[in-house]
Amino acid sequence: MAADLEFEKLVNLYYRDLYRFGLSLTGSEADASDLTQETFYVWANKGHQLKSPANVKGWLFTTLHREFLKTCRHRKRLTDVPIEEGVASLPDAATDCANRIDSQTLLHFLREIDEDFRAPLVLYYIEDLSYKEIADVLAVPLGTVQSRIARAKVQLLRRLTEMDRLHTQTK
């Protein structure tokens, strides 16, 4: 009975954040819900192995991300994209471009970013995790987190710029 109450407390505490992370990764409410449920299923079966209760949030995010990657592996192989050096390669975006974007459009753009880059960006900006926490969640080096966030910003900025150009042309 006490274990059930602890599990329910954990679900109440982290479900929304995990679901939001899953939604940003998949772009689908159903898939996000499935990922979140699977994460808590894994917790129910393996959570007792966690040595430090202070690490439960990171453990849950790591598990959700691993489940997401597991489903992605069936679709395609992950590829590396070289970092583009220099500010000259960044597209110009109007200053009010970000102010005109709605949440559905942003989610659509996030789905277009490669999974390797999307996860760190979402964990940093939406879930407010530090680079170190993201590195722990994704099980990658700190420098990799930093470069992936930088690459994701470039990809997102390109999409915003394209949207801004289309918006300007239709006026």
- Residue 84 to residues 20, 28, 118, 150, 153: CA-CA distances in angstroms? 29, 30, 17, 10, 12
Tokens of 113: 């970013």
Q: Are residues 60 and 128 in the same domain?
A: no
Which residue range forms the structural domain that includes residue 104?
88-169
Residues 59, 114: one domain?
A: no
Rounded distance between C-alpha atoms, residue 164 and residue 91, angstroms: 11
How high is the pLDDT of residue 171?
A: 62
Mean pLDDT for 32-44 is: 91
In a domain, 81, yes or no: no
Same domain? 7 vs 53: yes
Q: How many residues are given for the chain?
A: 171
Higher-pLDDT residue of 139 and 91 is: 139
Number of domains the chain contains: 2
Q: Are 28 and 74 in contact (CB under 8 A)?
A: no
Q: Compute the mean pLDDT over every residue in the chain, rounded to the nearest whole number.
A: 80
Summary count for the chain: helices (H), strands (E): 7, 0
pTM (2 d.p.): 0.55
